[in-house]
Amino acid sequence: MKEIVEVAVGLPVFKTFHYLIPEKMRDFLQIGMRVIVPFKGRKVTGFSIDLLELPPKGVEEKLREVEDLLDEAPLIDSQMLRLYRWISDYYLYPLGEVIKTGLPPGLQLKSELILSLTQNGINSLAQGGLEPIQEKVLKEIGRCGKISLKKILKLFIGEVSRSQLISWKRKRFLNIDAGIEGKEVKPKFEKVIQYQDIESSQPLSKKQAEILNWIKEKREVSYSELNKRFKSPSKSLQVLQAKGIISIFRREVCRDLSVRSELKPYPKPEPTSNQEAVLSEIIKGIHSKRFSPFLIFGVTGSGKTEIYLRAIEEVLAQGREAIVLVPEISLTPQLLSRFKDRFGENLALLHSGLGRGERYDQWRRIWRGEVKIAMGARSAIFAPFKNVGIIIIDEEHDPSYKQEEKLKYHARDVAVVRAKQAEATILLGSATPSLESFYNAEKGKFRLLHLPERIEGKPLPKVEIVDMREGGGLISEKLKISLQKNIEDKKQSLLFLNRRGFANFILCPDCGHTFKCPNCNVTLTYHLRDRSLQCHYCDYRIQAPGDCPKCQGHRLQGMGIGTERLEQEIRLLFPESQVERMDRDTTSRRRSHLQILKRLESGSIDILVGTQMIVKGHDFPNITFVGVVSADTSLHFPDFRSSERTFQLLTQVAGRAGRGEALGEVVIQTFNPDHYSILRAKDHDYSGFYQEESQFRKALEYPPFSRLVNFRLVGNSEKRTKVMAEEMGRIGQTILKKRYGKGIEVLGPSTAPFAKMRGKFRWQMLAKGESPQLLHQFAREIASGMEVQIKKKGVNLDIDVDPVYIL
Ligand code: ADP
Ligand code: ZN
């Protein structure tokens, strides 16, 4: 009899804990279910990860009981648990928190403090003589019996404080106990009425007969529908049910997501011979039912989508399931629309743009096996399928696959591991593969499949570079002429500038004053529409002043331009044209992004100005011109991937041009016309870029030629964070000397590239090495060496394992 359960709590603690299973739960509790357990004076949600007959040695006496069991069926199966364990180990992140990351939000119950009156409190209230606020609050608590501390603070906001409540506990007016907050997302039900095909001879009232006729016609209706049509139908329904003519039951409903495609329909084309060749390799992999990793390196417009669709059809035919990852699903409505056209209701969507309830419902449809395909942003990699046959990662190079906070996983790496564990096929697709993936293909870890041509042999666009060092202002003569010509030809144009807002920053030419974000130590961006200065890293925002606050000068100037200003300039230059802008500011409303793309598709936009949002895989045949207003923004980012990122952005945005009949044209403006990222993008020369970038990475020992682990300390106090960073440096050096010698190189600690972000101070230490195992061991030792210290000092250690999955 298994009487002990091992639990991973959903808290930042590395250890797992053992609890006794109470008699009444023994027949029900399984691995993968959620439990409530006592933990350090609180009650917390945890995940059952193992069942044992005997407690592990040394903890027998201290075992406490599981308090509650939250699920009737396991939320995660053994395969998912295995994946979560790998993630926890690889990214050095607590297992309970990893599992939490993989489940839809809202399944986590939180422990909270519950207030109730003591006998003394009740007596004191009856006797009177309390302070007015005391009386008011205690009365409310007494009225409710039990109420959460949080609710009381909310009810009496500004009147009573937390410490006051605690002092009343000391005076024995009230109890404060740990309880559980019940804000879990729940399945949604509807009442359904079904016609039973039984003729009844008994007489019916007029209303009953009317209702029955309607139900008979529809065979099955929901109560809410019926209620809309007939006034208070409950009574009549009861009668009809009693006579056995109808049956009434409850059915779970899915919070409705539109699965209609909203863009132009996508007919199923016959594959070209290139597509055929690639597909036959993939299908061999699928049929082998073994782990089969492929990198599809296909230029923009080479027809990768059709390959994905057909590969999935093959997998579904085997009775297996498919996961499709896309960079940001809200930004790729076209791809989604094509999938909906092909697979209809067999598709679930998982992404953060959905409401909590919607996300939960989509997750449950997968969990129950009602759909066979899950599509979504990076978190869709945790889709709870039981038998995944294929995982597809579109635009595999996209940085959004990396989660930058909390669990810093890379969905591409997790996908490779999941596919391997499930003996599945994995397709990584891109026109500009990440260096890591291409390197893996070179080493034979991924099979490389090449689509060197666009569909129907359409040529890639012609790219010209404009050297901005020669002057010419924001929009060069060349760019202007090309736009003009494109407008005259009644074609559409895209203008790309990777910076939103009006002016990059504001400067006082008299005293040199600029405006900085007090939380992030970066300059604030000027937005004309609401005349505000905004921080693009946190929510900080102020009204732009008229005069310089430092010297009272009147000549404040905007420096550098953003998309808002670009849009204005373009409208002035081409007053007859329809100009629109797509960036975070114009797409904050739900679906506004889709609306812009619809207008683009229908031809009611001539020129679309935008940030990297316009780069993502759109396929519109009438776009024949793309202008890159400044190629330099991403080039100067303090990151060793900045050249790669620039090459990818330029190639991808250029790839939007000339997908229809007419030849595409691209103009790139830059202050770095000799930079290899820009030159190689101009020539559509991925492999040339790969060679050059590899040399640089090799020389500086960056991935993929080494592994990196970044230890970042983040704290509220500048001084304490620095002290802890120095401590980490010492620990690092000691461990290094003792055990690792030359195998690992440590850089820092030093302040991070963004030394202050969202009000927190940031330091980092970088460890580089060739052996992933060694580096991993080193990282583990640092983490545990720091764990104790950190708790004492209120600083956070954030470990960032650079994504290079090792097969
Ligand atoms: P990619 O994702 O590789 O950039 P897409 O999948 O968007 O390219 O395909 C580019 C265009 O080619 C699309 O408009 C698509 O409809 C079309 N296309 C794809 N495959 C075929 C085919 N076999 N025959 C005709 N047109 C095709
Ligand atoms: Zn800020």
Q: Omega into 94 within 30° of 0, i.e. cis?
A: no
pLDDT greater than 50 at residue 259: no
**d(CA 754, ligand 2 centre) in Å:** 11
Do 640 and 702 touch, CB atoms closer than 8 A?
yes
Amino acid code (one letter) for 499 = R
**d(CA 756, ligand 2 centre) in Å:** 9
Tokens representing 17? 């804990």
By CB neighbour count within 10 A (0-12 exposed, 13-18 middle, 19+ buried), where does 291 fall?
Answer: middle
pLDDT value of position 385: 96
Whole-angstrom Cα distance, residue 98 to residue 85?
8
Which pLDDT tens digit goes with each residue over 39-55?
888 888 899 999 999 88
Whole-angstrom Cα distance, residue 329 to residue 594?
11
Helix (H) or strand (E) holding 147: strand 147-148
Taking residues 539-562, report their average pLDDT: 90
Which pLDDT tens digit goes with each residue over 640-693?
899 999 999 999 999 888 888 888 999 999 999 999 999 999 999 999 999 999
Q: Specify the higher pLDDT residue, 794 or 458.
A: 458
Question: What percent of the chain clears pLDDT 90, i.e. is strictly above it?
Answer: 47
Query: Could you tell me the pLDDT band of residue 804, with boundaries at 50, 70 and 90?
Result: low
Which residues contact residue 274 at a Cβ distance below 8 angstroms, ignoring those fewer than 6 apart? Answer: 302, 303, 451, 452, 453
Whole-angstrom Cα distance, residue 407 to residue 410?
9
Taking residues 596-615, report their average pLDDT: 91
Q: At 115, phi and psi to the nearest 5? A: -105, 140
Give the ligand at the shortest distance from the Cα of 542: 2
Give the ligand at the shortest distance from the Cα of 757: 2
Can you state the angle between helices 686-699 and 642-654, rounded to 10 degrees?
170
Do 351 and 376 touch, CB atoms closer than 8 A?
yes
The protein residue whose alpha carbon is closest to atom 19 in ligand 1 is 303
Alpha helices in 351-456 (DSSP H): 356-367, 411-421, 435-442
Whole-angstrom Cα distance, residue 440 to residue 736?
29
**d(CA 536, ligand 2 centre) in Å:** 7
Pocket-testing residue among 306, 449, 458, ligand 1, by greatest number of atoms within 8 A of Cβ: 306
Pocket around ligand 1: residues whose beta carbon is below 6 Å from it? 269-272, 275, 298, 300-306, 455, 617, 619
**d(CA 746, ligand 1 centre) in Å:** 47
Tokens representing 107? 């399944």
Whole-angstrom Cα distance, residue 447 to residue 282?
10
Taking residues 562-584, report their average pLDDT: 94
**d(CA 539, ligand 2 centre) in Å:** 6
Do 657 and 668 touch, CB atoms closer than 8 A?
no
Taking residues 54-65, report their average pLDDT: 81
Give the ligand at the shortest distance from the Cα of 534: 2
Taking residues 525-532, report their average pLDDT: 90
Whole-angstrom Cα distance, residue 218 to residue 563?
54
The DSSP code for 805 is: -
CA distances in angstroms from 52 to 2, 85, 343, listed in the order given: 5, 18, 43
**Of 290-294, 444-448, 544-548, the least confident:** 544-548
Taking residues 233-258, report their average pLDDT: 77
The protein residue whose alpha carbon is closest to atom 24 in ligand 1 is 269
Q: 720-755: b or e for each residue (b if 16 or more CB lie within 10 Å)?
A: ebbbbbebbbebbeebbeeebeeebebebbebbeeb
Which pLDDT tens digit goes with each residue over 739-776?
777 788 999 899 988 888 888 899 999 998 888 888 88
Q: Omega into 704 within 30° of 0, i.e. cis?
A: yes
Whole-angstrom Cα distance, residue 432 to residue 682?
13
Question: What percent of the chain clears pLDDT 70, i.e. is strictly above it?
Answer: 95
**Of 268-282, 435-449, 553-567, the least confident:** 553-567
pLDDT value of position 109: 54
Shortest-distance atom of ligand 1 to CA 305: 6
Which pLDDT tens digit goes with each residue over 619-631?
888 999 999 999 9
pLDDT value of position 801: 77
The protein residue whose alpha carbon is closest to atom 2 in ligand 1 is 304
Mean pLDDT of the chain: 88
Do 36 and 70 touch, CB atoms closer than 8 A?
yes
Q: Where are the beta strands (DSSP E) in 326-367?
A: 347-350
**d(CA 759, ligand 2 centre) in Å:** 7
Which pLDDT tens digit goes with each residue over 63-121?
899 998 888 788 999 999 999 999 999 998 999 999 999 998 776 655 567 888 999 99
**d(CA 505, ligand 2 centre) in Å:** 14
pLDDT value of position 77: 93
**Of 345-349, 422-426, 593-597, 697-701, the least confident:** 593-597
The protein residue whose alpha carbon is closest to atom 18 in ligand 1 is 303
Do 514 and 521 touch, CB atoms closer than 8 A?
no
Do 649 and 634 touch, CB atoms closer than 8 A?
yes
pLDDT greater than 60 at residue 181: no
Query: Could you tell me the pLDDT band of residue 182, with boundaries at 50, 70 and 90?
Result: very low
- What pTM value is reported for the model? 0.83
Shortest-distance atom of ligand 1 to CA 272: 23
Q: Specify the higher pLDDT residue, 148 or 494.
A: 494
Which pLDDT tens digit goes with each residue over 443-498?
999 999 999 999 988 889 999 999 998 877 889 999 999 999 999 999 999 999 99
**d(CA 162, ligand 2 centre) in Å:** 30
Give the ligand at the shortest distance from the Cα of 617: 1
Do 419 and 329 touch, CB atoms closer than 8 A?
no
Largest CA distance in the chain: 96
Whole-angstrom Cα distance, residue 666 to residue 31?
56
**d(CA 456, ligand 1 centre) in Å:** 9
Which residues contact residue 592 at a Cβ distance below 8 angstroms, ignoring those fewer than 6 apart? Answer: 586
**d(CA 716, ligand 2 centre) in Å:** 14
Give the ligand at the shortest distance from the Cα of 300: 1
Dihedral, 277, 685, 652, 388 alpha carbons, nearest 10: 40
Shortest-distance atom of ligand 1 to CA 619: 7
Give the ligand at the shortest distance from the Cα of 332: 1
Pocket-testing residue among 619, 661, 684, ligand 1, by greatest number of atoms within 8 A of Cβ: 619
pLDDT greater than 50 at residue 528: yes
Which pLDDT tens digit goes with each residue over 314-371?
999 999 999 999 997 666 778 888 898 899 889 999 877 777 888 888 888 898 889 9
Q: At 187, phi and psi to the nearest 5? A: -65, 150
Helix (H) or strand (E) holding 430: strand 425-430
Taking residues 279-306, report their average pLDDT: 96
pLDDT greater than 50 at residue 562: yes
